């Protein structure tokens, strides 16, 4: 009986905690002036409220620069409140790395701040944002309350700009989506890679072009960074997550191509065992299933030949 009461209390406290809709943000300093809110390497759920992504900020002399605003209005608001309380400074600029919902649906909290992104990202956010946010309501529920689509407002220019004592370089890549913004803080050596790099979490591919992605990763390796902030997973001081993402994408591409060449149908490919090398990647099997849905139709179509037909 006591045991049951304990369970009941536990259930009650869990409910109360969730009802607060407070994201468990704990800023981690990764370099001078530079902090990361590290999300879990999980899929969206009503438990994590979409805090499955890394959001970051740089404290400069002129104010704070935010990189990605998270999954919901609540995310953006709580992120901004935390930053302003911690630093006593205003947010002066936001960069959005790409148009996936976990990276920009918190924009609503930064309506009065210029929000920068690459032009294709702004366009894609406008086109697909509503669909994303509808799906997010389904996946994280009330965490999304009153979240509205706010596309980025400013076109990010390529090249280096000095803001509040930080030399920030904007680089444009492709592969994870049609346009992936990477921010390199030359002053601190921090590279904000967005979702071109995943760390101990399987890469996601809804808008991916694997070949372009591989090319982008090769280029990223040439940048003389000291700290790497991946889109998902732990921050590192070495390029290991880039190598890991490359190796995973090679395996994914090869697996799908070989499956298509042996005449497999989608559900069979989805059941491919994950090799030991990638066993530690969070969500490997479920991301493989998603990637099959994204990438397999084009690969299997290549294996079909036009039939002889009466005109």
Binding site for other proteins (CB under 8 A): 134-135, 138, 206, 262-263, 265-268, 270-271, 286, 289-290, 292-294, 297, 300-301, 303-310
Cβ at position 10, least distance to other proteins in Å? 22
Three-class secondary structure of residue 248 per DSSP: helix
- Contact call for residues 33 and 60 (beta carbons, < 8 A): yes
Is residue 255 a contact partner of residue 277, using CB atoms and an 8 Å limit? Answer: no
Residue 291, judged by CB atoms within 10 A of its CB (0-12, 13-18, 19+), counts as: buried
Q: Taking the alpha carbons of 244, 238, 172, 36 in that order, is the dihedral positive or negative?
A: positive
Q: Which is nearer to other proteins, 142 or 169 (CB)?
A: 142
Cα 213 → chain centroid: 15
Nearest residue (CB) to other proteins, 275 versus 297: 297
- Report the distance separating Cα 20 and Cα 158, nearest Å: 40
| Between 110 and 143, CB nearer to other proteins | 143
The three-class DSSP label of residue 88 is coil
By C-beta, is 89 or 289 nearer to other proteins?
289
Whole-angstrom distance, CA of residue 126 vs CA of residue 207: 15
Least spacing, CB of residue 89 vs other proteins, in Å: 40
Give whichever of 13 and 135 is closer to other proteins, judged by the CB atom: 135
Nearer to other proteins, 43 or 142 (CB): 43
| C-alpha gyration radius of the chain | 21
CB closer to other proteins, 71 vs 244: 71
Q: Which is nearer to other proteins, 14 or 271 (CB)?
A: 271
Picking from 139, 207, 141, 217, the residue whose alpha carbon sits closest to that of residue 176 is 207
CA distance 21 to 34: 26
d(CA 143, CA 230): 24
Please give the Cα distance from 248 to 188 (Å, whole number).
29
Count of all residues that appear for the chain in the document: 311
Dig out the tokens for 50 from the structure. Answer: 């979409």
């Amino acid at each position: 009986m006591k045991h049951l009461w304990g369970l009941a209390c536990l259930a009650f406290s869990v409910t109360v905690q969730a009802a607060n809709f407070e994201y468990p943000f704990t800023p981690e300093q990764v370099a001078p002036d530079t902090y990361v809110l590290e999300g879990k390497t999980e899929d969206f759920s009503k438990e994590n409220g979409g805090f499955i992504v890394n959001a970051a900020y740089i404290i400069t002399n002129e104010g704070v620069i935010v990189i990605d605003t998270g999954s919901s209005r609540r995310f953006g608001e709580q992120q901004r409140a935390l930053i302003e309380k911690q630093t006593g400074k205003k947010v002066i600029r936001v960069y959005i790395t790409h148009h996936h919902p976990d990276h920009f649906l918190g924009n609503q909290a930064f309506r009065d701040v210029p929000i920068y992104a690459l032009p294709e990202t702004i366009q894609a956010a406008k086109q697909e944002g509503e669909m994303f946010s509808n799906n997010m309501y389904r996946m994280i529920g009330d965490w999304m309350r009153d979240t509205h689509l706010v596309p980025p407002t400013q076109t990010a220019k390529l090249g280096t700009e000095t803001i509040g004592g930080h030399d920030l370089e904007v680089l444009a890549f492709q592969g994870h989506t049609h346009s992936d913004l990477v921010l390199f803080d030359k002053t601190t050596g921090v590279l904000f890679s967005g979702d071109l790099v995943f760390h101990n979490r399987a890469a996601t591919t809804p808008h991916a072009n694997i070949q372009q992605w591989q090319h982008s990763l090769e280029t990223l390796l040439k940048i003389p960074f000291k700290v790497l902030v991946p889109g998902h997973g732990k921050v590192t001081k070495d390029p290991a997550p880039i190598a890991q993402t490359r190796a995973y994408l090679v395996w994914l591409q090869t697996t799908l191509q070989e499956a298509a060449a042996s005449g497999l149908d989608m559900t069979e490919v989805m059941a491919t065992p994950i090799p030991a090398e990638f066993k530690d990647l969070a969500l490997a099997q479920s991301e493989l299933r998603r990637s099959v849905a994204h990438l397999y139709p084009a690969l299997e179509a290549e294996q079909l030949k036009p039939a002889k037909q009466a005109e």
